[in-house]
Structure 1
Amino acid sequence: MVERINRDIVLKYQKEIKEVFTLLLDEKNYPVVIQCTTGKDRTGIISALILASLGVNEDVIMEDYCLTNDYFNIPRASKYAYGLPTSAQVAITTIYSARKSYLNAAKDEIEKRYDDTRTYLRKAIGLSDDEIKHLRNILLE
């Protein structure tokens, strides 16, 4: 289920992803906080796309994504599930987890349709090479 949602995010929310990059390209907007309900699906994907636009290695991007599991208190967030059937508890824990397969689903969808993330950022999101260079100038030292 989460894999399907993440595939949909990169296909159906391109306008919103472009809006995030537009905000990031304007230095007057800093500091910037990017967040969503649990911080791993929409936020995880946009963070991965930002890191990819900066030229960060895919393994490092995945490590960053998986840090959610270290810092998000899944048992606390799913405490209301206690008393529910075990299958419901498993489902809630699954939804709150940041699994590699979740981010890989978005990446696979991008590669299936656009060959690579750089092409996706250019064609689907509408970022020019100059904008990517500008973002790198802002975010990298």
Structure 2
Amino acid sequence: MSWLEKLRDLVRKPEEAVLDPDAPGLATVVSAFDPAVADSAVLAESPGWASEAPAVLVHHLLLPADRIEEAAAILAQDGYDLREQSRDGDRVLAHARRVQVLDALHCAQERSRMAGLAQRLGGDAPGWEARQPGDSPTASA
């Protein structure tokens, strides 16, 4: 092994375990549905959130049924999976899900982005939640 390969091995970050958004045992550890409360405050007040661990970030979207495919295509560009949850007439409750490590800045940016997307499509983005494995010492159901 060359000295360059050894150096690369020293500075290489350990690979993070991949979190499956559909894994059993995921618990909601933080949720933000009040637009008057900053995402940083929501995260700071959540005793169940493991800040260094990946989480499934789930944005709740209320969209017109005829715009779901368009929303899914837009969101897929940034690694989101859009899942329909329920229908009420021509309105659909959908969850945009992505695995990431959470921080206040990115949560706020994504919340704003989801609100903008929902508005452009004639819908609403009432809030988000994050899920982490329920067997972690800091997670709560």
Q: TM-score, normalising length from structure 2?
A: 0.28
Compare the two structures and name the one with the higher strand fraction: 2
Compare the two structures and name the one with the higher helix fraction: 1
Structure with the greater alpha carbon radius of gyration: 2
